[in-house]
Chain A
Amino acid sequence: EPEVTQTPSHQVTQMGQEVILRCVPISNHLYFYWYRQILGQKVEFLVSFYNNEISEKSEIFDDQFSVERPDGSNFTLKIRSTKLEDSAMYFCASSRGRGDYGYTFGSGTRLTVV
């Protein structure tokens, strides 16, 4: 069964550093997403991406964050100047598109900011 692949599974970074979280969505999916889950809390939407541009973003997704699809397979989330409160599990997801709401989630990247 097709999977969404996320790397790395765990990343530790120092406060103020930039991190890039990587995702390979399912190949025939057209919509890509990032979600965040602070430990013990609910999963929160960050951003959706379609046709090489952001289609929707939440209040959490401020100027510190950016997304990119640098090639035909990868989808990245960049966090500039990380803060302690950015420590969370970050999930990538993808969906096929109209008429199909099967969001497939990756297994997540646990980001720890120290």
Chain B
Amino acid sequence: AQKVTQAQTEISVVEKEDVTLDCVYETRDTTYYLFWYKQPPSGELVFLIRRNSFDEQNEISGRYSWNFQKSTSSFNFTITASQVVDSAVYFCALSEGAQAGTALIFGKGTTLSVSS
């Protein structure tokens, strides 16, 4: 069975603070994909990153970085020097298997509030 756990329901930080959003997943497949999506107050789902199970390299994109650790089944997301515009709900998601067309299983999301 697939499962994605985002234990942090809500996080509040002040601008310029660093914040890490946790994601722990469960899967029996050796091939899978992990994703992060941002959902701002306007409601759309904005793709942030995709990582396959064979690539454990950490990735940095501007103020965003991701730490993928298969040993702990975690795919954590860090925002450095947070800004008010980062306020949103962030979803971690998992897709199992080597073929496209399989379902994305989402975590329950973490609501990030950044105040000025």
Chain A interfacial positions (CB closer than 8 Å to B): 30-31, 33, 35, 41-45, 48, 50, 55-56, 58, 89, 91, 93, 95-108, 110
Contact = CB atoms under 8 A, between A and B. Distances in A.
Given A43-B91, A45-B105, A101-B33, A107 B100 contact: no
Contact of A42 (B99, B101, B108): B108
Contacts of B95: 101
Interface size class of B (residues with CB under 8 A): 20 to 34
Interface of B is mostly: loop
Interface of B: 33, 35, 37, 42-45, 47, 50, 52, 91, 93, 95, 99-109
Given A48-B102, A96-B100, A101-B100, A110 B43 contact: yes
A45 B52 CA distance: 20
Contact of A44 (B50, B52, B101, B106): B106
Given A96-B100, A98-B100, A101-B95, A107 B43 contact: yes
B50 A102 contact: yes
B100 A95 contact: yes
B93 to A, nearest CB: 8
Given A91-B45, A110-B43, A45 B101 contact: no
29 contacts: A31-B100, A33-B103, A33-B104, A42-B91, A42-B107, A42-B109, A43-B45, A43-B91, A44-B106, A48-B102, A56-B101, A56-B103, A58-B103, A89-B43, A95-B100, A97-B101, A98-B100, A100-B100, A101-B50, A102-B47, A102-B50, A104-B47, A105-B37, A105-B47, A107-B42, A107-B43, A108-B43, A108-B44, A110-B43
